[in-house]
Structures are given as C-alpha cells and as structure tokens.
C-alpha cells in the first residue's frame, strides 16, 4: 500500500472536513457540494461529488482542463494542490502531499516504520470498506430512483389531444407536424405531485404542488433503456409553466428530473446506426428518422429547444437536457451540436461547447456545431423568426421573409 494511495483514500473519507478547511462557505445543493457561488443562494460552476463513485471528484466548468465532464478538476489531492497554489495548478507536488499528511495527522515521510505501515494498511482497509458500503447504498438509491421514474412513465397517458399540444404549439410556437407529432417519448400526467426536498438531512420532503405535467422519457445512450423522466409542470390551460413555491414562498423551478440524467437523452428520432430499440420504454422512438446513415444526429439542450432545432433543420434529434450532457455517448457516426446562445457566462459556455465537440471527435464521429444567436435558445430564436414575440437577440421578424433569411442560421450548419 503506497503512501499516496493511503492519503487519497483518507482525504476522500474525510471529505466534508477537508472542504471546510479548504473551501469555507461551501454548501450543498441536490446532493452535490457547491464550492463557489455566483451570488447568495445561486450555485457557481465549482462543484464536487459527495456520494457514490463520484465522491471526491470535483470540476470547475468555468475553467478549462481535463476534469470530470469537462472543465478543470480532479480528486481530493488535486483539490489540495489547486487551493494551496492559489488556483494556479492542479498537479500535486511534494508540499501538497506533506500538507495532506499533516492535516490527516499521519507521520512524516521520514518517520514511517513497519508499525506505521501496518496501521496505515488497517486505516485504508477500513476506509475502503466504508466506501464500498457507500457505493452499495448509492446503487440501491439509484435503483429506487429508476423504479420511481419507470412508475411515473407508466402512469402517463398519450400526449395527443392534451394540453401538452397547447404548450408546445401555442406557448412555444412549435410546428407539431414538422417534428413528427405525436412523439412516443412524451406523455401527459393530469395530476403530477411536486415534492420539495430541503437540503438539510433528516428533513422529510414536502408536497408543495399537484397539477398537469409533460413527462419525457430519458433513455440511456448505450442501452436505450429508460433511466429517468423529465417533468415540466404546466398551468391548467397549458399556456405557461406552473407557478410553484417552497413553503417559505421562494419560487421553485417548474421542471424536475426523476431518476438519472447524465448519459441519457430524450429521443425524438431513430438513429440509423441502431434502428428502433426494443428496450423499455417500448414506444420510445417516433417514425421520424435522422435520414440516411450519412445524416447527422442533432443534439440540443432542452426539450422545446431541441424540437425547434429539429423543425428548423429537418434533422432528427435528441435532447441532452444539460449542457454538460452533450458529451454523452450516442450511437451515431455524425452529430450536429446545436448549442443555445443565452448563456450568462459566455466564456464558460464556449469551453464546455469545445469540450463536447472534442469528446465526439475523439470517439470518431464527424462533428459539426452551430449556436443560436446571442441571447436566444433555439426555441426563442424560432419564435422570434415567426414573429410570435419580440426577440431578445439579433433576429429579424416579420413573417415568411424573416423566416427565410434567419432559417439560414440552422440550415448552414445542417
């Protein structure tokens, strides 16, 4: 057992105390450690895993590097190096290992005896046993969440003829016929419960809302199996998202994911390389195809954004649901990455975009990318082009003439 292995294992074991030492003011959101804040209560891009196999793995998306899922990052000893160097490096040097050893209360390098090594082996074995127990607990929790997601999906009904059509067509300006509606990966729940779970431990979730919701199936990129669901709570008439508040009156997002998100997509087409999947959900693919085997698979972020990009490009696509999930594996030989242009932090977004492009290129895929105009996602761009609302970005409006001109933004990439 090497000294460095022991140090990393013990730093991971005492992670919360380590964060208190290195990053005073860190907090938790949705089970993740938040190491930086944009403003009071608004998480920044510097985050760390606290459970399961991600425990101790951190990433700072706003900085370039080789961390997990893009950005700068590493494990606990890299965090020590990053903080102690004034955020100038992540590669640990001797002084970082010495700092970690002193903080853990371990003997110095020169004082190691056979008794020390035996004690170290026992500590590491105990820590590894606790880690394996945490992994088992995390796996059981993930299995439970997947079962919940499957139950939600089974409870849904066909979306055709429901207020989801009003939401997509009237509120979001999407041509349903152009995107192959009805889409088997979208269902409707008439009375979906919204549970709010405080970040504090041992505090039971609170039911804060019930109402109609759009449910989208999240399928694993490799297996096609259902791994989660994405829910959007709607107003009773379907013309807006529902207004949902915490018990203290603070607004809550009207969208939630149940189950797993990373590595999955909401599929709005069949990939020509794979054909329809036979795994759950059984009706996961629409009749739309990406086209010939040479056609790219379009990847965009949100559900409405992806449908708008599909309408504009007439290329089949999948919704990634998260900017960092653009890198997830897909069964395609060519991809068109349709990034939104409404990011608050443009530099951070560009770094994540480039990391996504590189990830697909390394996997051997032909990669093309496009970006919505500044201030727009693809849905707001499409609505502005159609004259449905005043644009927040540099898009001309005025009916068919404007549509023909601005359509080139997507067509040039496709």
Structure tokens given for 291: 């086209």
Residue 200 in any domain: the answer is yes
Q: What pLDDT does residue 278 have?
A: 33
Residue 259 in any domain: the answer is yes
Residue 143 in any domain: the answer is no
Considering the domain architecture, whether residues 399 and 363 belong to the same structural domain is answered as: yes
Q: What pLDDT does residue 370 have?
A: 94
Residue 26 in any domain: the answer is yes
Residue 127 in any domain: the answer is yes
Residue 146 in any domain: the answer is no
Considering the domain architecture, whether residues 160 and 127 belong to the same structural domain is answered as: no
Considering the domain architecture, whether residues 316 and 364 belong to the same structural domain is answered as: yes
Considering the domain architecture, whether residues 190 and 321 belong to the same structural domain is answered as: yes
- Which of 79, 108, 137 is the last residue before a domain boundary? 137
Considering the domain architecture, whether residues 104 and 241 belong to the same structural domain is answered as: no
Residue 144 in any domain: the answer is no
Considering the domain architecture, whether residues 405 and 259 belong to the same structural domain is answered as: yes
Considering the domain architecture, whether residues 128 and 162 belong to the same structural domain is answered as: no
pLDDT per residue over 246-290, tens digit each? Answer: 888 889 999 999 998 889 999 998 765 554 443 345 434 343 444
- Which of 103, 137, 171 is the last residue before a domain boundary? 137
pLDDT per residue over 184-233, tens digit each? Answer: 999 999 999 999 887 655 678 899 999 999 999 999 998 999 999 999 99
Ranges of the chain with pLDDT below 50:
1, 275-280, 282-293, 396-406
- Which of 137, 165, 195 is the last residue before a domain boundary? 137
Q: How far is CA 202 from its chain centroid?
A: 26
Residue 148 in any domain: the answer is no
Considering the domain architecture, whether residues 103 and 216 belong to the same structural domain is answered as: no
Structure tokens given for 405: 């001109």
The total number of structural domains that make up the chain: 2
State the Cα–Cα distance between residues 323 and 311, nearest whole angstrom: 20
Domain that holds residue 260: 156-411
Q: What pLDDT does residue 309 have?
A: 95
Q: What pLDDT does residue 40 have?
A: 64
DSSP 60-87: ETTS-SB-TTSBEEE-HHHHHHHHHTTS
Q: What pLDDT does residue 202 have?
A: 60
Considering the domain architecture, whether residues 123 and 241 belong to the same structural domain is answered as: no
Considering the entire predicted model, what is its pTM? 0.72
Considering the domain architecture, whether residues 128 and 178 belong to the same structural domain is answered as: no
Distances (CA, A) of 124 to 9, 78, 79, 121, 326: 7, 19, 20, 5, 37
Considering the domain architecture, whether residues 65 and 192 belong to the same structural domain is answered as: no
Considering the domain architecture, whether residues 130 and 173 belong to the same structural domain is answered as: no
Q: What pLDDT does residue 279 have?
A: 36
């Amino acid at each position: 057992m090497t000294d460095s292995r022991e140090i990393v294992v013990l730093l991971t074991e005492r992670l919360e105390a380590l964060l208190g030492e290195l990053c005073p003011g860190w907090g938790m959101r949705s089970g993740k450690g938040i190491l930086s804040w944009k403003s009071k209560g608004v998480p920044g891009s510097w985050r760390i895993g606290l459970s399961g196999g991600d425990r101790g793995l951190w990433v700072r998306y706003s900085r370039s590097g080789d961390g997990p899922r893009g950005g700068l990052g590493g494990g606990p000893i890299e965090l020590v190096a990053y903080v102690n160097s004034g955020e100038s490096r992540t590669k640990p040097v001797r002084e970082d290992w010495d700092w970690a050893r002193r903080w853990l209360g371990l003997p110095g390098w020169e004082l190691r005896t056979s008794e020390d090594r035996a004690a170290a082996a026992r500590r590491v074995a105990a820590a590894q046993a606790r880690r394996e127990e945490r992994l088992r607990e995390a796996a059981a929790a993930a299995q439970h969440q997947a079962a919940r997601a499957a139950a939600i999906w089974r409870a849904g009904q066909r979306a055709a003829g429901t207020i989801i059509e009003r939401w997509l067509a009237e509120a979001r300006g999407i041509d349903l016929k152009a995107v192959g509606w009805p889409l088997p990966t979208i269902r409707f729940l008439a009375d979906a419960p919204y549970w709010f779970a405080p970040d504090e431990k041992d505090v039971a979730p609170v039911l804060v809302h019930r109402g109609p919701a759009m449910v989208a199936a999240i399928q694993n990129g490799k297996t096609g199996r259902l791994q989660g669901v994405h829910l959007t709570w709607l107003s009773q008439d379907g013309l807006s998202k529902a207004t949902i508040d915490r018990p203290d009156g603070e607004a809550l997002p009207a969208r939630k994911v149940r189950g797993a998100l990373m590595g999955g997509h909401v599929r709005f087409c069949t990939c020509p390389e794979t054909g329809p999947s036979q795994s759950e959900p059984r009706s996961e693919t629409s009749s739309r195809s990406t086209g010939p085997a040479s056609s790219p698979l379009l990847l965009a972020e949100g559900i409405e954004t992806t449908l708008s990009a599909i309408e504009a490009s007439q290329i089949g696509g999948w919704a990634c649901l998260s900017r960092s999930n653009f890198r997830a594996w897909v069964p395609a030989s060519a991809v068109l990455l349709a990034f939104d242009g409404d990011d608050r932090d443009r530099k951070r977004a560009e770094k994540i975009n480039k990391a996504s492009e590189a990830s697909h290129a390394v996997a051997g895929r032909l990669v093309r990318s496009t970006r919505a105009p500044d201030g727009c996602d693809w849905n707001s761009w499409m609505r502005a082009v159609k004259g449905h609302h005043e644009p927040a970005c540099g898009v001309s409006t005025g009916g068919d003439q404007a549509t023909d001109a601005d359509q080139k933004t997507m067509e040039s990439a496709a």
